[in-house]
Structure 1
């Protein structure tokens, strides 16, 4: 079956073949920012779901080659992992990739009128509680599941990764500080520089607790229905194996305002912990969960700084990264993570 390369290939004939149902007409509407690929809302006329979301590679062939690993990881999630966890994700109707060219296509459930979270505004405490339950649905079902280590293509960090990260992260921090020199508080500059001292060993620490880590679990990658009773997680390109609390820390440190995080974080960590227990997680007391949360907070500046360094600069993107860094550094100081 042909693996398409661009939106022009989303034809009625191709969709009829992959969906195994008659499609008479296709209408496309771009959605999202498309920084590492392209997304389209596909409206279908025929005997199929009325609308789908199509994810396709970046238009630039050079970018496709660089991003091939991220594309393969997302397809791996939908093909092999999504059905083994309970976190809400879009239903996948079709997933295919060409290993030679990194051309890929995902046809996913369209979840509208669910709305994307807003990283700048931050989420409500109610939404945060929903996200804690959802996150436990990723971590709990395969908590310390050694079969994860045998999945080809699912990355588990090594000593080499830790050394490489230590080399790359410190210059990226200085680039971030220079970029936001007139807007970054001196205390935040100091906190960011201090995170570079331990980032390599941190990546590999606490290996006795491991599981699936989304890697970028934040509001921009979550969709909420009008009543906020569920949260659907998207963008699985950064999926790895590691300390599960990295997702917990990253979300709470960057996706709530500082005031809301200070007020609600203990309740939210307890909510996450309670939900883990319902998935059969044992020998993980709440006190240890809280300690993992404090320890894992370096995930927040790490992903923020690297995302800024390698992402396409935009006005909103700059505002988002600065907001995330400010919230993350404040959390690290509040909880004395670096001491």
Structure 2
């Protein structure tokens, strides 16, 4: 696979060999490939395509007629599908028919299960129903419980964390860009809010930083908003799935939760759902064997994780993410900061 133009070699011959090598096509060949436009793809992202595949009449094997082709930068998602999935067993992720990495490890290609017939995404940016939120929380808590203080986080996974987006890297980038951002934003951000950044960075309490954990570390998705969940159309037959694993990380579980709710929800909805969903998350951890982690521990972790949210819009801004995204995140992060009295935490160690 050419690392600079991975689509160059994506032909019927290439796909035939790939499916044969992975054991899904035991006889016959791929005759034709139809690339679907992004608007028709369940996964709406720039480097993802839906393929409809035509096989020769003599084709034999466990072969899909629809498949998702995804390209991801660097190594992290490849490592997830090639190594981490096997460790976790029953993982709520699309089945991967093929994971292939470029020689220089700058890009990876995946052939993933197309779940568009059995699953759905909710409409961005409208939050899901409470029932769907509970399903998502149950799914995420199972992943966190599985990896809770697992020694393999450090011995096997830690070295790959920086091979792509990771929270410490993103937040440090944002801190470095803060003066430039404040100059850019000018009087569109109040003086009081600008001083909050000063208080956060000058505080002796550094537990809000993504690499800090008072109680435990676990495996994080790293970009776990509700639109990275695929909900089953028939829950009696299918399970919920999570996709876009290119930013997985290691840290306290509430970093995922603060990103899901503290950053993405406005006060009215968050006030009605936040604590009940956090309680559900905490109870699920205990049911799955997590110990020495009280509700007070969980609530404190969550509040400190929400402090980190102040810097996410800055990172998005300096990376060229649309202002439709980062401007709303900026407002919600400050609203959460005020409502949860997070300034009080900066005075505690």
Counterpart secondary structure, 1:56: strand
Q: Is the 8 A contact 2:174 2:312 kept in 1?
A: no
Instruction: With the length of structure 1 as denominator, give the TM-score of the two structures.
Output: 0.81
Alpha-carbon offset, residue 240 of structure 1: 1.6
In the alignment, structure 2 segments of 5+ residues that lack a partner are 39-43, 345-349
- Counterpart of 1:73 in structure 2 is 76
**What pairs up with 1:264-303 in 2 under 5 angstroms?**
264-303=273-312
The answer to whether 1:45 aligns with 2:60 is no
Distance across 1 between alignment mates of 2:255 and 2:264: 14
In the alignment, structure 1 segments of 5+ residues that lack a partner are 58-66
The answer to whether 1:309 aligns with 2:313 is no
Q: Is the 8 A contact 1:184 1:322 kept in 2?
A: no
Counterpart secondary structure, 2:71: strand
Distance across 2 between alignment mates of 1:232 and 1:282: 27
Q: 1:166 to 1:12 in 2, by over 3 A?
A: closer
Distance across 2 between alignment mates of 1:304 and 1:30: 30
Deviations 1:132-163 (A, max 9, x none): 1111122111110012211153338xxxx96x
Distance across 1 between alignment mates of 2:239 and 2:318: 32
Alpha-carbon offset, residue 325 of structure 1: 2.1
- Counterpart of 1:60 in structure 2 is none
Deviates more, 1:171-180 or 1:232-241: 171-180
Alpha-carbon offset, residue 220 of structure 1: 3.6
The answer to whether 1:13 aligns with 2:16 is no
Q: Rg larger in 1 or in 2?
A: 2
Counterpart secondary structure, 1:151: helix
Distance across 2 between alignment mates of 1:112 and 1:184: 41
Q: Is the 8 A contact 1:308 1:321 kept in 2?
A: yes
The answer to whether 1:243 aligns with 2:252 is yes
Q: 1:187 to 1:230 in 2, by over 3 A?
A: farther
Deviates more, 1:191-200 or 1:317-326: 191-200
- Counterpart of 1:324 in structure 2 is 329
Distance across 1 between alignment mates of 2:287 and 2:225: 23
- Counterpart of 1:62 in structure 2 is none
Alpha-carbon offset, residue 176 of structure 1: 4.1
**What pairs up with 1:34-183 in 2 under 5 angstroms?**
34=46, 38-46=47-55, 47=59, 48-57=63-72, 67-68=73-74, 72-85=75-88, 86-100=90-104, 102-113=106-117, 114-151=119-156, 153-155=159-161, 168-181=173-186
- Counterpart of 1:213 in structure 2 is 220
Distance across 2 between alignment mates of 1:210 and 1:282: 13
Distance across 2 between alignment mates of 1:230 and 1:264: 23
The answer to whether 1:337 aligns with 2:345 is no
Deviates more, 1:217-226 or 1:207-216: 217-226
Distance across 1 between alignment mates of 2:232 and 2:96: 19
Q: 1:166 to 1:52 in 2, by over 3 A?
A: closer
Distance across 2 between alignment mates of 1:209 and 1:323: 31
Counterpart secondary structure, 1:301: helix
- Counterpart of 1:222 in structure 2 is 229
Distance across 1 between alignment mates of 2:188 and 2:52: 43
The number of residue pairs the alignment matches comes to: 315
Distance across 1 between alignment mates of 2:100 and 2:256: 27
Deviates more, 1:200-209 or 1:294-303: 200-209
Q: Is the 8 A contact 1:222 1:233 kept in 2?
A: yes
